Amino acid sequence: MRGAEWVIFLAGRSALVEAVLFDVDGNVHLAVTPEDDPAADLQRNHGRFLYFAPDEVEPLEVPT
């Protein structure tokens, strides 16, 4: 299981996808910031994100 420690740390929390990135092999990575992270602005300004493959995240329903 890839990144199992982050799964436990972030379980039940929502995050904002900041970027969709591709590596040299063509793999897709999502750069995310937890929404309730008090240091999110600082991390974002320094380009520090948590990275996940698309199959490791679950989209939230958009309120109507």
Q: What is the pLDDT of residues 48-63, one digit of tens each?
A: 998 889 998 888 887 6
Cβ atoms of 52 and 9 closer than 8 Å: no
What residues contact 17, with CB distance under 8 A and at least 6 apart?
30, 31, 32, 57
40 pLDDT higher than 70:
yes
Amino acid in position 55? D
pTM, whole model, 2 decimals?
Answer: 0.76
